[in-house]
Each structure stands twice: as C-alpha cells, then as structure tokens.
C-alpha cells in the first residue's frame, strides 16, 4: 500500500528529501528545472532593485551593449552600482524564505540553498557591511526587506558563531561598525641619482714642470744648451 500524503506540498517535500542533490547539481539545474520559479524570482528582484534605485537617486549611466538605454535600464535598474549584488541577495533570499517550499529553500548535502542560487548562512557579513558602506537603508524598501531578512537569518543560523552570525547579531543590536579600510601604501618616489661629473684632469708633476719651462730634473733643454754656450 502506497503511503498517502496530507497535501501536495508534503508529497513534494518527501520526494525532495528522498532525492538529495549536492549544491553544484542543484544550482546548475535549477533554472532549467523550474523556469517559472526562475522568472518569478527574477521579476521580483528586478522590481525591488527598481524601487531601491529610485529611492537612493541612482540613475544607470553604463554601457548598454547595443540595447536601447531605456530597455537596459529597466532590466538592470542598479546596473553597475557597487551594491547591485547585495540588493539582489537580500531580495532573492527573503523571497525564498517567504515561499518556504523545498524548491525555494532546499536541503543539499552541503547545507541549504535558497532560490536555486546560494547558501544563505554565509551572507551575513557581506550584506551587513555593504549596507553600511553604501548607506542602503536610506531606501525604505530596502531597509524593510533587510531588517526582516536579518531576523530570519539570526533565527536560523544565529548559533553558527561565525563572522556572519556575529555581524547579524551586532547589526540587530545597533553595534555593528564598518571596519576602516587602510589606504594602500603610496609608492616610494626615488630621487634621480646625480649624473657623474667628468673627472677633473689635474696636470702631473711632469706636465707642471714643462709648463714652466722645466725639464724632468728642473732644467730645460734650452737652459742646458745656453749653459754650454756661456
């Protein structure tokens, strides 16, 4: 007799548990296996990015690679903004946790993958530090999603005691401080070495003597000849 499940959701969960994928297999095949979920995630993240770009006053000014600028900006509203990836992680991760089905939050042999994309337990330090670095909470849309996600991550992974869980706890307590990045050392400017000057040529004793009409022993040939004529 086949085991009956109380709901299609539980049936799907049981199937997923019976077929445990590793992370690489799950991520590489997620888009093709769940195209509707992929499109849904992409559209949600794009809408959030568009609102965040508007609220922080960001206008894409980047190479469109042949696309009409309006179409490219609508597709990538935070294109080339340094926090584009962070906004995508926050929006996509929270969306998956809200869905909370085995497709969206999936157990693999190495841990948990959300939205067919990444491990959520190693996001903490990046999203907290980048949020501070680029002052992303000036966007009400981002701030609301970010704070909700922090609570979920702390609830699920707060006992990991790594830098990600620590950063999240510090942020929730209002104690996170972005480390000051030291400036790279300036290259040492070497002074040009002075060019060697031409050596002064001092006359030798013999030449000095000849310049004064003296021979090798202090007598010139002329004076010697004159002595014999006297």
CA-to-CA dists, residue 65 to 62, 71, 72, angstroms: 9, 11, 9
The answer to whether the Cα torsion of 76, 78, 84, 87 is positive or negative is: negative
Are 136 and 46 a contacting pair, CB within 8 Å?
no
DSSP-derived 3-state class of residue 83: coil
13-44 pLDDT, tens digit per residue, is 665 555 567 899 999 999 999 999 999 999 99
pTM of the predicted protein model: 0.69
Greater confidence (217 vs 169) lies with 169
Mean confidence (pLDDT) of the chain: 80
> So where are the chain's domains?
8-172, 204-230
């Amino acid at each position: 007799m086949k085991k009956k499940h109380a709901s299609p959701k539980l049936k799907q969960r049981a199937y997923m548990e019976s077929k445990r994928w590793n992370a690489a297999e799950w991520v590489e095949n997620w888009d093709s296996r769940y195209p509707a979920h992929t499109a849904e995630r992409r559209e949600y993240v794009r809408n959030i990015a568009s609102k965040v770009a508007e609220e922080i006053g960001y206008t894409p000014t980047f190479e469109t690679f042949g696309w009409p600028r309006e179409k490219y900006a609508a597709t990538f509203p935070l294109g080339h903004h340094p926090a584009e990836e962070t906004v995508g992680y926050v929006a996509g991760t929270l969306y998956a946790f809200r869905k909370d089905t085995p497709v969206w939050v999936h157990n693999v042999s190495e841990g948990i993958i959300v939205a067919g994309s990444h491990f959520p337990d190693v996001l903490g330090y990046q999203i907290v530090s980048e949020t501070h670095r680029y002052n992303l909470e000036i966007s009400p849309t981002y701030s609301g999603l970010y704070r909700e996600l922090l609570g979920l991550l702390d609830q699920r992974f707060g006992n990991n005691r790594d830098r990600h869980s620590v950063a999240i706890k510090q942020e929730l307590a209002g104690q996170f401080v972005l480390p000051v990045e030291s400036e790279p050392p300036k290259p040492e400017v070497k002074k040009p070495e002075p060019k060697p000057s031409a050596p002064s040529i001092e006359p030798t004793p013999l030449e000095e003597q000849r310049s004064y009409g003296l021979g090798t022993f202090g007598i010139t040939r002329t004076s010697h000849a004159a002595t014999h004529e006297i």
